[in-house]
């Protein structure tokens, strides 16, 4: 792999590390102290999404903690070590990364009259969530095009 390939791999790994840290704080820690994470602005309050919304958010947090975060971590380590299992773990986590922002944006759109989100959240969600999906699509494309590095 040339310098450009190394740079792209480094960008993918750095973005994955940042996302992992965000998920550890915003999702995994919300299972321990949800109200604290709400105070940081990383989760929504009961006033914004109702008790049913909180149940769904906690369910996604549990799924992320048990599946998504471990896949990301395995993917990061495996890509850095140029292992086949790292390629597959990262491809799996990138697929999740393309999917969940679409679900969240759709829920916000379909529930816009039923949720009490402040205007700042609508703006930030509509910027950040598509960027996460783009990261996922770009990562999948990059790994697909360079799979010979990891799968021999």
Write the pLDDT tens digit of every residue in 103-136: 999 988 898 888 887 778 888 889 999 999 999 9
Output the pLDDT for position 109. Answer: 87
Gap between the Cα atoms of 119 and 19, Å rounded = 24
Output the pLDDT for position 5. Answer: 64
**Count, residues in the chain:** 152
Gap between the Cα atoms of 122 and 11, Å rounded = 28
Low-confidence ranges of the chain (pLDDT < 50): none
């Amino acid at each position: 792999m040339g310098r450009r390939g190394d740079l792209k791999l480094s960008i993918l790994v750095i973005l994955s590390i940042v996302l992992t840290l965000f998920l550890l704080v915003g999702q995994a820690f919300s299972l321990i102290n949800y109200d604290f994470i709400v105070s940081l602005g990383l989760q929504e309050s009961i006033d914004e999404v109702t008790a049913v919304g909180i149940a769904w958010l906690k369910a996604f947090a549990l799924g992320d903690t048990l599946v998504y975060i471990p896949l990301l971590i395995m993917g990061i380590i495996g890509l850095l070590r140029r292992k086949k299992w790292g390629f597959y773990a990262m491809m799996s986590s990138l697929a999740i990364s393309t999917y969940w922002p679409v679900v969240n944006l759709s829920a916000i759109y379909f529930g816009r009259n039923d949720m009490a989100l402040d205007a700042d959240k609508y703006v930030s969600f509509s910027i950040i969530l598509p960027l996460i999906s783009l990261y996922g699509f770009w990562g999948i494309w990059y790994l697909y095009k360079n799979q010979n590095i990891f799968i021999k």
